[in-house]
Structure 1
Amino acid sequence: MFMTVKQAAEKWEISDRRVRTLCAEGKITGAYQEGRGWKIPIVAEKPADGRYKAKENLLSQIDRKKRELDTRRPLTEGELERLNEEFVVEYTYNSNAIEGNTLTLRETDLVLRGLTVDSKPLKDHLEAVGHKDAFDFVRELVKENAPLSEHNIKQIHYLVLADKKQDRGVYRRVPVHIMGAHHEPAQPYLIEPKMEQLLHEYKDDTEHIITKLARFHIEFEGIHPFIDGNGRTGRLLVNLELMKAGYPPIDIKFKDRMKYYDAFDAYHVKHNLSVMEGLFARYVNERLDMYLKILE
């Protein structure tokens, strides 16, 4: 006797997605795939998952620290400037470096101050300025509590892609392949409906903001809606939503890029969201510690 994924989810009081993940990871004894679905023995027991306790503990710490930060609000202009002055340069450097930009952290700082680095291409200069402009725009959207919409996503991308004027703020019209990735981006004709579906699912998702954003970010990058600039735009969208929810923005470091890439593969190959979720959570936790220390 077997039960479906939906029946197992109702029985164990977890999501359908989680049941499919457990099946794919071989954690449900006797479960096997038949066509596009799973056959689960009716006598199968809900697998224990030690990750939940660790995850819940970290998310609880984050929520406690966020509540403490809320007691310090509203922050003064001087406090906000102190919190953001170093972040903007480092964030611009790291997000661009992940995508192949050759400017060093020091050179990124110089370019954002209006100087030119003779030994580096114009493209790298434009990417630095464009990313800074896009983050400034994101901060304005946060002040307005603007919704996560296709219009705002395209506006952010328009600023990010300063070096490719014809491709700014428009969905790609040609197929692409990401070298070494375990996932094929959406065909051009599917981009718009998939983006609409993604935004709808994100809006209806009631999970913790960090869990929601980990899933949204992976799915957004999987759709790969633009010809270029998807990574930088996607990370800006994560910060848009974090800041709207009262959390500090995060800066995924260039040195952590392999962990970041592995998080995408873990999701696409093993349906494992916890790697990206854990990466985001650690960064948010560290940023909260930094904010609270500065504001003491």
Structure 2
Amino acid sequence: MNSSRGKPKGNPTLVAALKTLKRLQEKHDGVVEASDLKDDEQRILLVETGFLRPVMKGWYICSSPSDNDADTTAWYASFWAFVSGYLGKRFGKRYCLNPEASLMLHTGNTTVPRQVTCVTIDSGTSKVDLPFNTSLLVYPDKNRVPNARVEVRGLQAWPVAEALCLVGPSFFVNNPREAEIALATVRHASELLPTLLAGDKMVTAAGRLAAAFEFVKRPDEAEHIQKAFAKLKITLKLVNPFELAEPTITPSKERSPYVLRLRSMWAGWRQDVIDVFPPAPGIKQQAADYLAQVQERYVSDAYNSLSIEGYRVTDELIERVASGDWNPDGDSQHNRTRDALAARGYYQAFQAVKESIGKVLAKNNAGLVAKRDHHEWYAELFGASVTAGIVEASQLTGYRRGPIFIRNSMHTPLPSDALLDSLETLWDLIETEPEASVRAVLGHHLFVFIHPYFDGNGRIGRFLMNTLLASGGYPWTVIRMSRRDVYMKALEAASVQGQIKPLAEFIAQEMNEWSPERETKNNAKG
């Protein structure tokens, strides 16, 4: 934390600066250019107090005063908004992301990339170095900027069909999930033909895409491409660009890239979970005995529970600064109150989850139980905070209605307009999955991956995990605070690197390692 940050008391200058920043934050998604802040004194004050963080000369992002220099959260949360703002300011619409980056955006990839490549109509070549080893590569090539560009997340991009024709075979090897999703969003092969028939250089691409359609079980599209070239007396050589053993998306009319991604992740990961997780023991105990063991673990589970919070300038914050009731280093009394309410809410939610587990033990479908009951868990989790006036009651009525981010993660949770379809897909996948281990591991991860609430996603995700573990007779599993870093790295490996095994292995280890005696000893050490 910057040493220059003090504790303002009713600071009217900071209040005015925060009001300006709030307007800019809402207008530009947390990205601020120096020229947007007409008052240099406000800009300097916001940087000194930690509400603004420099990105490059003349550009800033909104940040938290509690962030240190190594905290990546604000940058990852603002990455795409910054790229959009910077490119728009510098080039207007006279640019386009390259085909690879275009497809990553179209297919709902949620990972912040290390480098984005942008092609311009007229400019020099440059590499813009950005925070935390990210960068923007810009080079001119008017022939690689299409006339019919589309806007995705405020960025100029190639249409899906054209981009698929232009990416090389390595894209299908390095990004198979995105390649499958892109193919699934193409309704008919005729969308590809204007690009594929444009010149001799596209014959290889045509053979590659025809083979790709055959691989994903859409032979009619493969045949359509071959017949179009046959009319020109060209016989295509079909070379499957995928290295997957089998496709992870079955043909359907679904076009949402987020829904397709969830289905692909589930199909592509389920065998990995089965391979590393112990076989389900089955429900052998009486429900009362199982629930008694669940209750035995309550204290340990509550002690180890963690939350992940985001940060934005709000009207409440501005009011606290205006009244002098704000401390950049944190308010110990406020934190104690919040923690006490969180503990009470956790207890009430835990009891609600136990009731849901009772339904599962009575052989009700675990996915249906969780689908129907998870809102009740959430309401109980924050009920005490609503009563105390800390949380608005409206926040308990549904899912978040805006963006959110996960601290220090390169994964960006799904946009709010994708939540309902994505959650409906997740419940369907859980309901129809025959293996309890897969239900629990993938159900937990994908719920957190979606991040449907503004707060409490991790706690609800672990409640979901344990409800689904119960469906296979597995014991209630405590994720220990002492292994928090391992847990977070495993979640990140799944969300960013597409590797689910570390998380499945971690949960299996936690399930086998817990005991009341060991946990009492660990807590005493803490």
Per the TM superposition, whether the score is higher than 0.5 is yes
1:216/1:129 CA distance change after superposition, 3 Å = same
2:505 is matched with which residue: 275, 278, 293?
A: 278
Distance 1:221 1:53 in 2: 19
- Report SS of the residue matched to 1:203: helix
1:130 is matched with which residue: 319, 327, 345?
A: 345
Which letter does structure 2 place at the counterpart of 1:74? Q
On the 8 A contact 1:182/1:269 being kept in 2, the answer is: yes
Query: Which residue pairs with 2:179 in the alignment?
Result: 37
On the 8 A contact 1:159/1:168 being kept in 2, the answer is: no
Greater relative contact order (Cα 8 A, min sep 6): structure 1 or 2? 1
Distance 1:125 1:282 in 2: 30
Which letter does structure 2 place at the counterpart of 1:191? L
- Report SS of the residue matched to 2:475: coil
Distance 2:452 2:511 in 1: 26
Distance 2:401 2:272 in 1: 44
1:201 is matched with which residue: 426, 429, 433?
A: 429
1:190/1:93 CA distance change after superposition, 3 Å = same
1:54/1:141 CA distance change after superposition, 3 Å = closer
- Report SS of the residue matched to 1:180: coil
- 1:92 maps to 2:307: no
Query: Which residue pairs with 2:374 in the alignment?
Result: 153
Distance 1:76 1:119 in 2: 39
On the 8 A contact 1:221/1:234 being kept in 2, the answer is: yes
- 1:216 maps to 2:443: yes
The gaps in structure 2 that reach 5 residues or longer are 1-168, 181-207, 213-238, 246-270, 310-332, 386-390, 517-526
On the 8 A contact 1:171/1:225 being kept in 2, the answer is: yes
1:59/1:149 CA distance change after superposition, 3 Å = closer
Which letter does structure 2 place at the counterpart of 1:241? L
Larger radius of gyration: 2
1:126/1:161 CA distance change after superposition, 3 Å = same
Give the drift of 1:169.
4.5
1:244/1:169 CA distance change after superposition, 3 Å = farther
Give the drift of 1:165.
4.3
- Report SS of the residue matched to 1:32: helix
Distance 1:230 1:119 in 2: 22
Query: Which residue pairs with 1:255 in the alignment?
Result: 482
Give 1 or 2: higher strand fraction.
2
Deviations 1:154-178 (A, max 9, x none): 1111111232242225211121122
Give the drift of 1:283.
2.1
- Report SS of the residue matched to 1:33: helix
Distance 1:265 1:55 in 2: 20
Deviations 1:25-58 (A, max 9, x none): xxxxxx7214842779769797xxxxx89974x5
1:173/1:156 CA distance change after superposition, 3 Å = same
- 1:170 maps to 2:391: no
On the 8 A contact 1:172/1:226 being kept in 2, the answer is: yes
Give the drift of 1:234.
0.8
Q: TM-score, normalised by structure 2?
A: 0.39
Give the drift of 1:75.
6.7
> Does 185-194 or 33-42 show the bigger shift?
33-42
1:160/1:75 CA distance change after superposition, 3 Å = closer
Query: Which residue pairs with 1:74 in the alignment?
Result: 286
On the 8 A contact 2:447/2:461 being kept in 1, the answer is: yes
On the 8 A contact 2:274/2:438 being kept in 1, the answer is: no
1:172-187 equivalence runs, <5 A: 172-187=400-415
On the 8 A contact 2:304/2:479 being kept in 1, the answer is: yes
Give the drift of 1:120.
6.1
Provide the aligned length of Structure 1 versus Structure 2: 228
> Does 33-42 or 195-204 show the bigger shift?
33-42
Give the drift of 1:151.
3.5
Distance 1:126 1:227 in 2: 17
Deviations 1:206-240 (A, max 9, x none): 3x322332222221112111111111111111111
Which letter does structure 2 place at the counterpart of 1:283? E
State percent identity of aligned pairs. Answer: 22
